[in-house]
Chain A
């Protein structure tokens, strides 16, 4: 059973539709105890970092998510859901993250002169060897919408990079936890392939 974390901050329906189209049987998990039966967990997210973290806390989801991750079952964070995996996000008033992958979530530098949000189709260069990338080309195009990016503390956790004025980390991963900055549920065939691979992943890497 694939759980989609429902904390009031996601395009939950788009993720649900994509999983449904893949023949999966997803369910929405709004409370910590609903993660017990999950074989896989997806944290979607569209919105502001500090408000989203406050919401996770208000719903007592911090510890259940940490407990889920300790069990070795696979977790996929999408967009804001990926950023929440880090230690700290500076968006809004700033907030501590879930601390599952070391790193900070910072805005794009003003000096880049590029439009923010970074919104549209762009290429992720994927590092080879991750089971969730199976069947995807090294250069794969996905749909992005975000104003902040994950600055990884450890290079080994960078599984994909994307060029937007500078190379930024568009995929992070550590053991059974994976995060993608782009929206696989909005990225047509390659996005669906990534989600399908995730649903088949045993969390080992």
Chain B
């Protein structure tokens, strides 16, 4: 049966790798091609690249990156950030990406999800959803444009919409927890898992392997994604798997 996955997320501004806290306050943490090679050697199951440059949302930079990464990493690669047309998605896939990640476009142009899914298969469409808890409304609010634009649609309704349009996978990020290393928002992830059959990737807040275990066992995620945990310190996917296999979770072996 399918394996659980550990997915390093790499945030990009220009051709540099950065790490944010709550979607702001970023630090430069290196060169994405070199780090991808290291993650591949450390037995990561997949890599996700997100362009978070708020000024420049041009896909050319992503195309150049995916060309270089696919020359050294022989594993599934997902890439997104600013993709708003079928042509951009198709170019990225032809240049070596296996999946494209849509976020803002998933609210505004569901037809794009359908188009990409029909041409490349639904597994090629990963929908990224950024959510923040609103104490005032007592519910999660969704945001597009790198956390800047409040969307009116609710979490379950949005997931239902994108799945119906042909999405293959959900990457759910807690803006509150992102970069905090305090743990995933297990309640948020559980809600995403419970309203769909497609795989859900937990993202935002992983600070140790215990947090990953919680995301898998308590919230039912198919995969965990993280950045800070691997960017800072000497943790890596090999060690994460060594820990998690003790709890009955099954990963690919290298």
Contact = CB atoms under 8 A, between A and B. Distances in A.
A119 B71 contact: no
B123 interface: yes
Nearest to A141: B252
B123 A164 contact: no
Given A14-B96, A17-B96, A46-B120, A187 B74 contact: yes
A interface, size bucket: 20 to 34
Interface string A10-35: 01011001101100000000000000
B1 A21 contact: no
Interface string A185-198: 11111111000000
Contact of A14 (B70, B123, B199): B70
Nearest to A165: B1
B254 A120 contact: no
B197 interface: yes
B75 A122 contact: no
A33 B84 CA distance: 41
B64 interface: no
A187 B73 CA distance: 10
Interface residues of B, number: 29
Interface in A144-184: 145, 147, 163-164
A120 B254 CA distance: 14
Nearest to A120: B2
B202 to A, nearest CB: 16
A141 B45 CA distance: 11
Contacts of A20: 71
Given A13-B70, A120-B2, A122-B3, A145 B75 contact: no
Interface of B: 1-3, 5, 40, 43, 45, 70-72, 74-76, 94-96, 98, 120-123, 168, 197-199, 251-254
7 contacts: A120-B2, A121-B2, A121-B251, A122-B2, A164-B2, A187-B75, A188-B40
